[in-house]
């Protein structure tokens, strides 16, 4: 399997390591490895950007869900407090 096929399946840490290695090799002397590194760098950079965007989106969604849960809990607590402080009904 070619490395460009593996890039979308890599973890953030693996992508960061691959990017660092490709950048280092691209700075080296002209060779087949340098040409391959230069070819892969844009693919790796794009995958890293996509991963960051996905993480940011997930974090925002998680924050919204957490705020909703907190608001629901506060409303439930307020309703319970109101119920507890209401005078007892005459039977």
State the Cα–Cα distance between residues 6 and 51, nearest whole angstrom. Answer: 14
Q: Give tens-digit pLDDT for 65-78.
A: 999 999 999 999 99
What are residue 89's phi and psi, to 5 degrees? -80, 145
For helices 32-85 and 12-27, what crossing angle results, to 10°? Answer: 150
**Domain ranges (residues) in the chain:** 3-81
Residue with tokens 């005078």: 87
The per-residue pLDDT for 91 is: 56
Q: Give tens-digit pLDDT for 26-68.
A: 998 889 999 999 999 999 999 999 999 999 999 999 999 999 9
| Token representation of residue 14 | 């693996």
């Amino acid at each position: 399997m070619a490395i460009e096929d593996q890039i979308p399946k890599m973890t953030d840490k693996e992508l960061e390591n691959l990017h660092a290695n490709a950048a280092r090799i691209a700075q080296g002397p002209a060779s087949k490895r340098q040409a391959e590194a230069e070819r892969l760098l844009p693919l790796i950079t794009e995958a890293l950007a996509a991963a960051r965007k996905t993480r940011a989106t997930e974090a925002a969604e998680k924050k919204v869900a957490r705020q909703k849960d907190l608001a629901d809990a506060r409303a439930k607590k307020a309703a319970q407090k109101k119920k507890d402080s209401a005078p007892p009904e005459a039977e």
